[in-house]
Amino acid sequence: MNINFKRLAVTGAAVLLSSSLVACGANEAQTGGDNGGDNGEGGSKTIALLLPESKTTRYEAFDRPMFEAKVAELCDDCEVIYFNADQDEAKQDQQVTSAIDQGASVLVLDPVNGDGAGGMVRDAQDSGATVIAYDRFIEGADYYMSFDNETVGRMQGEALVEAMGDEGGILMLNGAPSDPNAAQFKAGAHGAIDGSGVEILAEFDNPDWSPDNAQQWTSDQLSKYDLADVKGVYAANDGQAGGVVAALTGAGLAKDELPPITGQDAELAAIQRIVAGEQSMTIYKPIKIEAETAAEVAVALVNGEDVGETEDFRGVDSFIFDPIVVTQDNVGDTVVADGFYDVGDICTDAYADACTAAGLE
């Protein structure tokens, strides 16, 4: 197998969620096959997928089933063991140990805390395993794959500034300080917002990306600032955007009076808010290409094959993908065209009129 991915272009391939791979709960391991520490022919073909949390809907709904389905397609004698850390760094450390003990020769690790995951990487490598840092960077990993995260933040910031007309005050809700991607989103957003004429009234680094925290923090700020002063909101992801909408409407704003609000992850609820004019944009990071590339690289590694062309990111061989801005104008050309959602998923009864107005039928 020769995987030739560099700055991969997104195609309109349909999302395939394999119901046959839906198994035990998010915190239990799926396991099978022989244990052993060596990669390549004759060694272990056990691959561990370790995801950080389940509050963000993408992990259980997309990353996991897409990864598992692709491994099954490519390698009928490979086994995937799965863990979810529920945003608990100590729990993830134990899960890495469990994966090693079960003979995983490749660990696809999306860390709760990228900066603190170096010990897990070293433990895995000492056992003879290869580590793919998935979606979040880990210093010392063998491979890394993610989207261009600073570009994500810049796109969000630029969209917000444009929607506001380069003036007014905003609330800024960033991601978890323990998430290395959050720092990159934040840097990119500040690069677009700082000096634009938009004023940051208050800023919050949300400890676990919690929508509830986002709602509470936004409500707290509305005790300090008049609703009329908040001309926009930078929300680093869609979950937080939902919390912001709840806080603003709870404070008395009608949904058609909401200021521009950003997001990320193209969650279904966010796409519906965008269609209805309640959220101005989201960032679509086609998870299919990330999850399937991770599976392809993992299978190549357990088979002792070449993973193909990579690029350097902070000294690690990497696969970096391009994000896409989704607005009301291009929902049909992005998440619908790619099969990420069907029109029927988006255009429920509550959004039927908005879908018609947006040309989604």
Give the least confident one: 21-30, 190-199, 344-353.
21-30
- C-beta of residue 256 within 8 angstroms of C-beta of residue 262: no
Q: What is the mean pLDDT of residues 57-82?
A: 96
How far out from the chain centre does Cα 320 lie?
Answer: 13
Per residue in 88-124, pLDDT (tens digit) is: 999 999 999 999 999 999 999 999 999 899 999 999 9
Contact indicator for 105, 82 with CB cutoff of 8 Å: no
- By DSSP bridging, strand 311-313 and strand 316-321 are antiparallel
**Predicted pLDDT at 208:** 87
Which residues in 174-212 are b (16+ Cβ under 10 Å) and which e?
Answer: bbbebbbbbbbbbebbbebbeebebeebbebbbebbbbe
pLDDT at 361: 76
- Is a pLDDT exceeding 70 seen at residue 349? yes
Task: Decide: pTM greater than 0.85.
Answer: no
Instruction: Report the alpha-carbon distance of residue 281 to residue 108 in Å, rounded.
Output: 30
CA 264 to the chain's CA centroid: 8
- Band (pLDDT 50/70/90 cuts) for residue 292 is very high
Kindly indicate the confidence band of residue 21, based on its pLDDT and cuts at 50, 70 and 90: very low
Using CA atoms, how far apart are residues 358 and 361, in angstroms rounded to an integer? Answer: 9
The mean per-residue pLDDT over the stretch 203-213 comes to 95
Domains in the chain, CATH or no CATH each: 19-141+286-323 (3.40.50.2300), 149-285 (3.40.50.2300)
d(CA 200, CA 208): 22
Q: Give the pLDDT confidence of 161-207 residue by residue, as tens digits.
A: 999 998 999 999 999 998 889 999 999 999 999 999 999 999 999 99
Share of the chain above pLDDT 70, in %: 88
